[in-house]
Amino acid sequence: MIFIVGVAVVVAWAMGWSLANWNQPLRKVLPLYAIALGGIANLIDRVFRDGHVVDYGVLNVGPTHTGVFNIADIAITAGALCLMFDVFVKPRKS
């Protein structure tokens, strides 16, 4: 229950910030939407599937089992990577 409430709070914050700052560049708003929508998708799974998320992507490299994920996880990860890229990579001045 604590995990569900925690995810709901983070998703609500991300959606609220991105709606309030819609005039910001898309490189800042779209990653937050991806994180929020991925969180909403996982939250819906947790609420309606007795606390479980359906994972259907399995990535194996040889005998090594590296990960199990779903599209919501990809959206969350891609959004976080885009935000980190935006924070750490500054445009060059001409």
At which residue do the structure tokens 């259907």 appear?
56
- Please, which residues have CB within 8 angstroms of residue 21's CB and are 6 or more apart in sequence? 28, 29
Q: For the chain, where are the alpha helices, taking DSSP H only? A: 2-20, 26-48, 71-88
39 in Cβ contact with 53 (< 8 Å): no
pLDDT band at 94 (very low <50, low <70, confident <90, very high): low
How many CB atoms within 10 Å of residue 92? 5
Q: Write the pLDDT tens digit of every residue in 7-50.
A: 788 778 877 877 787 777 787 788 888 888 888 888 888 888 88
Q: Give the active site residues.
A: 55, 73
Q: SS3 of 32, please?
A: helix
- Mean pLDDT of the residues in the chain: 81
79 vs 64, which has greater pLDDT? Answer: 79
